[in-house]
Homo-oligomer: A and B are copies of this chain.
Amino acid sequence: MALIQAADTRTYNTSTDYAKPVLAAVKPREHEDSLALLRSHAMFSALEEDDLQELLHHARRLRLGHHQLLYRQDMPAHHFFFVLSGRLRLYRLDASGVDRTLDSIAPGDCIAEVMIYADPARYACFAEALKTSEVLMIPVKAYQDLLDTNHRYTQAALRHYAMRAVTRFHDLEIMTVQSARDRLIRYLVDLLPEGSEQGGEVELPLPKCLVASRLAMQPETFSRILADLKSNGLVRVNRSRVFISDPSKLIRISQ
């Protein structure tokens, strides 16, 4: 049963500053929790028990330390990943060394699953752990084989990919907002759960300096805007938590 690991024989296109993620040993209880999380994702929820076990047989559970890299930009993409715990960050590195944050991925979501039909399949960015994290490393080929055999699986995957494209379009849409303040407001309101018209609290999915990077602004700009919103009574901030008392007012001033 591959969620509980034996040995890892794959080789990585390593570089000097790249520490290989270690295989994670798993207690039965953790294993059950991981299975439940996996089954809640659209790409796996339709799988029959036998097929899920077959997929897990090919998968490896990896543990990553804080700031440890899962993969590097432009590495061949033979695997995609399912986040079991912790949180990962996707980013690009420019030739000048500037690091741009693209996304943060929470437990229950996939990373690089869009690579299954890319040609050439190369990771479009870096992925690193923002804190101690565990991921399931799934060979693209093993998942493709399942899709080849079962129409229902392909339909479920199609549903996921269509929604992923919609989400990415939405992400892009926010980035076409010219004003840095309005981009940040849109980003914060988006983090609120459904039905938070009366206000609510959001947890920033990234450290503040990385939210700034994700929204294409300087950390100082981010701090200034947040301070302005605070002094106008529009938000309250407690470390990584932001309380929004009146989302509709916030949206109004951003337009």
Contacts and interface: CB of A to CB of B under 8 A. Distances in A.
B178 A175 contact: no
Contacts of A154: 151, 154-155, 158
A interface, how many residues as a size bin?
35 or more
A118 interface: yes
Nearest to A125: B173
Contacts of A214: 176
Given A157-B158, A255-B95, A100 B151 contact: no
A253 to B, nearest CB: 10
A165 B114 contact: yes
A124 B170 contact: yes
Interface string A107-145: 000000011111000001100000000000000000000
Interface in A202-217: 213-217
Interface of chain A, main secondary structure: helix
Nearest to A215: B176
A162 interface: yes
Interface string A66-108: 0000000000000000000000000010111010111000000
A166 interface: yes
A191 interface: no
Given A155-B154, A166-B118, A169-B114, A102 B161 contact: no
A216 B175 contact: yes
Given A166-B114, A168-B165, A217-B178, A92 B151 contact: no
A225 to B, nearest CB: 15
12 contacts: A92-B176, A114-B166, A115-B162, A117-B162, A118-B162, A124-B166, A147-B155, A147-B158, A148-B155, A151-B151, A161-B161, A161-B164
Lowest 4 CB-CB distances: which A-B pairs, in order? A168-B168, A175-B175, A161-B161, A95-B255
